[in-house]
């Protein structure tokens, strides 16, 4: 699911136009330019039926979107939302049954120097999926 979620995001023209291939799991390279996206798998919960564990999984992913200005951050967040919100379909080996935005917050982080700021939008996704 992780590889296919990143592939889904990179395949969106609007999102790729803003962050190119700078979508990472857990760690963003230190000297990489902005804007960029860092993904964190928060939980990956199996679904159960009376017969036991089913193929369906329920995952929560925190997506941190970084930009050097508030306006760039807003543009990145809008493109990100258009790329994933409500998506249903197969990408790679994953059948995404539904990707949903579950939370959205904005904050400012320190940049490389005291005078620099990084604008962060954190978007929580809930994802229902199974392997194809």
Q: Residues 73-89: pLDDT tens digits?
A: 999 999 999 999 999 99
111 has pLDDT over 80: no
50 has pLDDT over 80: yes
114 has pLDDT over 80: no
Q: Are strands 36-49 and 23-25 parallel, antiparallel or unpaired?
A: parallel
Tokens representing residue 86 in the block: 């409500």
Q: Name residues whose C-beta falls within 8 Å of residue 30's C-beta, 6 or more positions apart in sequence.
A: none
Which residues of the chain form beta strands (DSSP E)?
23-25, 36-49, 52-67, 89-91, 94-110, 117-131
Q: Are 35 and 72 in contact (CB under 8 A)?
A: yes
Q: What is the pTM of this model?
A: 0.92
Mean pLDDT of all residues belonging to the chain: 95
Selected residue with higher pLDDT from 31 and 67 = 67
Scan for tokens 């005291």, then name that residue: 114
Exposure letters 29-38 (e unless 16+ CB within 10 A, then b):
eeeeebbbbb
Domain that holds residue 75: 2-131
Query: What does the alpha-carbon distance between residue 118 and residue 95 come to, in Å, rounded to a whole number?
Result: 34
Average pLDDT over residues 24-31: 94
Q: What is the pLDDT of residue 36?
A: 97
Query: What does the alpha-carbon distance between residue 60 and residue 99 come to, in Å, rounded to a whole number?
Result: 10
Query: What does the alpha-carbon distance between residue 99 and residue 123 come to, in Å, rounded to a whole number?
Result: 12
What domain count does the chain have? 1
92 has pLDDT over 90: yes
Say which range, 6-10, 27-31, 38-42, 77-81, has the weakest mean pLDDT. Answer: 27-31
- The CATH code of the domain that includes 126 is 3.30.2000.10
Tokens representing residue 74 in the block: 């807003």
Give the model's confidence band at 109: pLDDT under 50 very low, under 70 low, under 90 confident, else very high: confident
């Amino acid at each position: 699911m992780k590889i296919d979620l990143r592939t889904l995001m990179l395949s969106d023209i609007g999102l790729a136009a803003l962050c190119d291939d700078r979508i990472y799991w857990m760690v963003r390279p230190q000297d990489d330019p902005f804007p960029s996206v860092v993904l964190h798998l928060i939980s990956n919960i199996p679904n159960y039926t009376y017969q036991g564990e089913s193929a369906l999984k329920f995952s929560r992913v925190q997506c941190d979107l970084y930009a050097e200005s508030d306006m760039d951050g807003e543009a990145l967040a809008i493109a990100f939302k258009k790329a994933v919100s409500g998506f249903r379909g197969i990408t790679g080996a994953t059948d995404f049954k539904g990707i949903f935005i579950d939370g959205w917050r904005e904050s400012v982080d320190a940049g490389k120097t005291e005078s620099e700021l990084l604008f962060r939008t954190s978007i929580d996704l809930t994802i229902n999926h199974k392997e194809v």
